[in-house]
Amino acid sequence: MNTLAELLTNEPKYRLKQIQKAWFDLSLNSYEEITTLPVELREKLKNLPWLSVKLHTILKSKIDGTEKALLELSDGELIETVLMVRESLKENKEASKWPVEERHTICISSQVGCAMNCFFCATGKAGFKRNLTTEEIVDQYRFWQRRLTGHISNIVVMGQGEPLLNYDNLKNALNIILNNTEIGPTKITVSTCGIPEQMEKLLADKDFPQVCWAISLHSAIEETRKKIMPAHRKDFVKFLVDWSRRYHELIPSRTHFIGLEYLMLAGVNDDEKHRKALEKLANKIPRVKINLIPYNDTNSPGLSKTSQTVIDDWHDYLMKAGFVCTIRHSQGQDIAAACGQLCNRTTTDAVKNV
Ligand code: SF4
């Protein structure tokens, strides 16, 4: 079957924009229904699937309601995407009480598998298969949009894959979502394990949306980082300091932070020496947020979770030192939907096909 791009070859450029706008219209369910397109074009497009991803299995956490969907792509490959629901107080000065509203954060994938092979990550163990297309990235958003009653408040590109190694498709997908929904760039966070040449590229790229970045750091000591992240580049820590300074010069907005993601691993990166190294690095990065992440079991030999006492100690220490520091509350642990656990597992005792 011809792809959308092939079918639009001889059409004016604005047709694609009309179609992208229609993708997000929940009242439409096929290309045939896009009445802004000429009848002949609708006829040509009518056999294209309205979504490029198909639901294979969905699991719902019994603990916190997190949902993990396994989606099938047109070539039979599977990817995972996660919906996390949190309640937060709605800002409404007129109301006598502060009503609670649900916030929906979706975690989306950028590749089938991943080549980075981080030691603690289930996706990395499965290896790399291919990049997702622009449509397959966008359609993870559309999949949840169609399933939800409320709107999607945040997107994190922290699912399977290294987003910066699928640069063009990621950039296009984010721009399509930003141009056709109410979500703003500061509500989107892209996480990278740090590919210096791609990080340079995005600073020079005016078309790359001004989203927030989370750097999978996991150790500010290069020797340790190299052990747990084989894709670590020499002198990355030094590069990160310089890159962050230039990022903030480019985007001076106070709403843009650089996130440092720090997975805490017992006996690996959680002692005093590593804490001091993290503090030293964070002191050199303006508007930095540190996110301490408890390890979720991925059956990696020799890895175990840092005790909650040590995590709390680090948190208190870093807060007292003046940093914005959070401890990630891992959602969806009973369905292997938490950080580092995405690996297309379909068997679990959680509820299937809800
Ligand atoms: S942590 Fe991210 S970059 Fe590392 S292997 Fe897993 S998916 Fe890839």
Cβ of 215 less than 6 Å from ligand 1: no
Whole domain around residue 2: which residue ranges? 1-50
Each of the 354 residues of the chain gets a pLDDT tens digit; together they read 788 999 999 999 999 999 999 999 999 999 999 999 999 999 999 999 999 999 999 999 888 889 999 999 999 999 999 999 887 655 555 555 555 677 899 999 999 999 999 999 888 788 999 999 999 999 999 999 999 877 899 999 999 999 999 999 999 999 999 999 999 999 999 999 999 999 999 999 999 999 999 999 999 999 999 999 999 999 999 999 999 999 999 988 888 899 999 999 999 999 999 999 999 999 999 999 999 999 987 777 889 999 999 999 999 999 999 999 999 876 666 766 555 555 655 433 333 433
Q: Which of 110, 121, 198 to probe ligand 1 with, by most ligand atoms within 8 A of CB?
A: 121
Two tokens at 185? 């760039």
21 shares its domain with 137: no
Give the DSSP H or E segment for 239: helix 236-250
Q: Quote the crossing angle between the two packed helices 272-283 and 236-250, to the nearest 10°.
A: 30
Predicted pLDDT of residue 196: 97
Q: How far apart, in whole angstroms, are the C-alpha atoms of residue 66 and residue 39?
A: 42
56 shares its domain with 29: no
Say yes or no: 154 and 39 in one domain.
Answer: no
Ligand 1 pocket test, pick from 107, 110, 116, 343 with the greatest ligand atom count within 8 Å of Cβ, gives 116
pLDDT of residue 67: 94
Residues 216, 81 share a domain? yes
pLDDT score, position 167: 98
- The number of folded domains in the chain is 2
Q: Which pair of tokens denotes residue 320?
A: 């007292």
Q: Verify that 253 and 337 share a domain, yes or no.
A: yes
Instruction: Say if residue 34 is in the same domain as residue 118.
Output: no
State the Cα–Cα distance between residues 45 and 50, nearest whole angstrom: 10
Residues 109 and 212 in one domain: yes
Report the atom number in ligand 1 closest to the C-alpha of 160: 7
96 Cβ contact partners less than 8 Å away, ≥ 6 residues apart: none
Verify that 260 and 114 share a domain, yes or no: yes
pLDDT recorded at residue 347: 38
The verdict on the CB of residue 198 being under 6 Å from ligand 1 is no
| Domain identity same for 29 and 99 | no
State the pLDDT at residue 95: 52
What's the N-to-C CA distance of the chain in angstroms? 32
Spatial distance between the Cα atoms of 280 and 139, rounded to a whole number of angstroms: 41
Q: How far apart are CA 289 and CA 324, in angstroms?
A: 5
Domain end marker among 50, 72, 90:
50
* Cβ atoms of residues 304 and 120 within 8 Å: no
29 shares its domain with 89: no
Q: Do 72 and 40 belong to one domain?
A: no
Residue 195 CB–ligand 1 contact under 6 Å: no
Cα radius of gyration (the chain): 21
Measured from the CB, is residue 331 less than 6 Å from ligand 1?
Answer: no
The residues that are catalytic are 80, 339
Return the CATH number at 74.
Answer: 3.20.20.70
Residue 268 CA to residue 346 CA, distance in Å, equals 30
Pocket residue to mutate for ligand 1, from 112, 118, 262, most atoms within 8 A of Cβ: 118
Name which of 301, 289, 59 is nearest 191 in CA terms. 289
With a 6 A CB cut-off, is 162 part of the ligand 1 pocket? yes
Determine whether the shortest distance from the Cβ of 159 to ligand 1 is under 6 A.
no
Same domain? For 86 and 35 the reply is: no
